[in-house]
Structure 1
Amino acid sequence: MTSTAEPAAYLADTSTGLPIPTEPVFATHEETRRHRKQRLAAALRLFGKYGFGEGISGHISVRDPEYPDQFWVNPFGVSFNRVKVADLIAVDSGGRVVRGRHRVNPSAFVIHSQIHELHPGATAAAHGHTAHSRALGALGRLLEPIDQESCAFYGRQVLYRDYEGPSVSLAQGRDIAEKLGDNRAILLRHHGLITVGGSLDEAVHWFFTYDSCARVQLLARAAGTPEAFSHEQALAAGAGFGDEQLGWFSFQLLWDEITTEQPDLLEE
């Protein structure tokens, strides 16, 4: 009989037992900035590829590694399917574009500036008006723990019920950021979804996962009454599928996919 006292040899020495590498560390701010901008451009192309675009709506931001009051974001009026590293803009806390040749989407500024200001651990934030998140929000429901992936958000999500029109005021952006709290996802009723993470990779992975889970929940409820996990089961599943390192690593598969298919996104 195999002893259970010692860890299995095939399990890696990580919290999930998976052979996951750690996030790279760079010697200079410029190297870190380039890495983040490349990931940002890739994430935007992925949003385009997977149908997360909705006209001018939707934005992803990542904090500048050298200037904490600045963040990089996609420019106003450039399609997710066309954006390149060269198109990205850096915006300061006053809403001024300090690097880049394009303008900033006012909604991107008021939402992302407040999230980055109020949440130092939120290196990145992803926002989109996807069909599944809008449908779930219209029902006034959050994700229920009906599968392993949804448990990544068990106790880590909040529903934002207020709606005052398009988000173009700092007061509304501030309110969204405050209501986000220490959660990793905030579902905006009548609006869309925002996810945050300690890296851009993590934040974008959570966005993809949340939208997928919303689709599963809508399908399950349309077909019948799904059976939810118990509290203990949800915590156990969330410890694995909600692991930050796993979230970061999961994006690397998407990075490889999109940079192989659309290498022009890396043009600077």
Structure 2
Amino acid sequence: MHARTQAADSPALDLGGRESIYQPEQAGRIFPHVPDFDDAQAARRHLKQRLAGACRAFAQHGLDYGFAGHLTVRDPEHPHFYWTNPMAVHFSQVCVSNLILVDHQGTVVEGEHAVNRAGFVLHAAVHEAHPDIVAMCHAHTVYGTAYAALGRPLAPISQDAAAFFEDHVVIRAEAGAVAVEEKAGQSICEHFRGVKAAIHQNHGLLTVSRHSIDAAAFWFIALERCCRQQLILDASGHAPTLVPPDRSRYSREHVGSEYIGWLHFQPVYAQLAASQPDLLA
């Protein structure tokens, strides 16, 4: 596992009380704000909308593969339950009304569809072992799955890849095995302590968030993109110039945070909600 090292070797930025350098200093600008809810029903509605939007975003980015792939987010009122996409429904057809609520034993407690067995095995184990993790994403993607076969961490070849520097792990346990037994989920769940992503050898990519489904979904899309770039670079036969560790940590802290993942997802969601309003049905 990579130990996450703070970017102490770079000068700290004075953000003036802001969470990110990307938040505007000028007052009154139109800019996304993380919502805050006093009502559990409103919070739940928001989470379900964003989960459905994340599924549509996966479809838009070509991250579908039959019925494979599962995205989860904890219920705001009942954290031992999580919302997930329904089994055997294409990502592009997921909407608020067909999401299902599942407990850690894999029982559907709300909704009409069945749960994906592999989704239950992996996600339930991670959610149960890590109460701080609120969302998790996994899909069988082209580039992430190909890169996972190499069994190596992602190198900081760019600012984008540096967002994952010392913030992801390579998991070799249960490599290539179909995760339908509960022990398979338990064998990998401890790897997610303190990181936002994992490359599961011979299987694919997984991302988690302690912030939102928005962040988990965006960092999955970003990780798939980084794997594609790395494979293209490998195919060129040329050795890259890597971002140095101090610069990688600096980039990770400022462009690889949970907040930045959430922020990146906002235009993705806005475009989907405007062009595919049925996702809110």
Q: 1:18 aligns with which of 15, 22, 26?
A: 22
Counterpart position of 2:275: 261
Inter-CA distance 164–189: structure 2 relative to 1 (3 Å threshold) = closer
Q: Matches of 2:60 and 2:20 in 1, distance apart?
A: 30
1:233 has 2:237 as partner: no
Question: How far did residue 12 of structure 1 move?
Answer: 7.2
Pairing of 1:48-197 with structure 2 (within 5 A) = 48-162=59-173, 163=175, 165-197=177-209
Q: 2:228 aligns with which of 209, 215, 225?
A: 215
Q: Matches of 1:167 and 1:60 in 2, distance apart?
A: 15
Query: TM-score, normalised on structure 1?
Result: 0.92
Q: Matches of 1:45 and 1:247 in 2, distance apart?
A: 17
Output one character per residue of 1:103-148: Cα deviation in whole Å (capped at 9) or x when no partner. Answer: 0010111111111111122110010111111111111122101101
Counterpart position of 2:9: none
Q: Matches of 1:219 and 1:209 in 2, distance apart?
A: 15
Letter in structure 2 aligned against 1:158 = V
- Greater CA deviation, 221-230 or 29-38? 221-230
Contact 1:12/1:18 (CA < 8 Å) preserved in 2? no
Contact 1:152/1:238 (CA < 8 Å) preserved in 2? yes
Contact 1:157/1:186 (CA < 8 Å) preserved in 2? yes
Letter in structure 2 aligned against 1:17 = I
Counterpart position of 2:215: 202
Task: Name the SS for the 2:208 alignment partner.
Answer: strand
Q: 1:242 aligns with which of 234, 256, 265?
A: 256
Q: Matches of 1:17 and 1:159 in 2, distance apart?
A: 30
Letter in structure 2 aligned against 1:40 = L
Question: How far did residue 231 of structure 1 move?
Answer: 1.1
Q: Matches of 2:202 and 2:95 in 1, distance apart?
A: 30
Identity of aligned residues (%): 38
Q: Matches of 1:75 and 1:157 in 2, distance apart?
A: 28
Q: Matches of 2:251 and 2:176 in 1, distance apart?
A: 36
C-alpha RMSD over aligned residues:
1.6
Q: Matches of 2:20 and 2:232 in 1, distance apart?
A: 29
| Structure 2: gaps (5+ residues) | 1-12, 24-30
Q: Matches of 1:209 and 1:62 in 2, distance apart?
A: 19
Question: How far did residue 227 of structure 1 move?
Answer: 1.0
| Structure 1: gaps (5+ residues) | 1-6
Q: Matches of 1:132 and 1:158 in 2, distance apart?
A: 17
Question: How far did residue 14 of structure 1 move?
Answer: 2.4
Letter in structure 1 aligned against 2:85 = N
Contact 2:176/2:203 (CA < 8 Å) preserved in 1? no
Letter in structure 1 aligned against 2:41 = E
Query: TM-score, normalised on structure 2?
Result: 0.88
Inter-CA distance 121–262: structure 2 relative to 1 (3 Å threshold) = same
Counterpart position of 2:48: 37
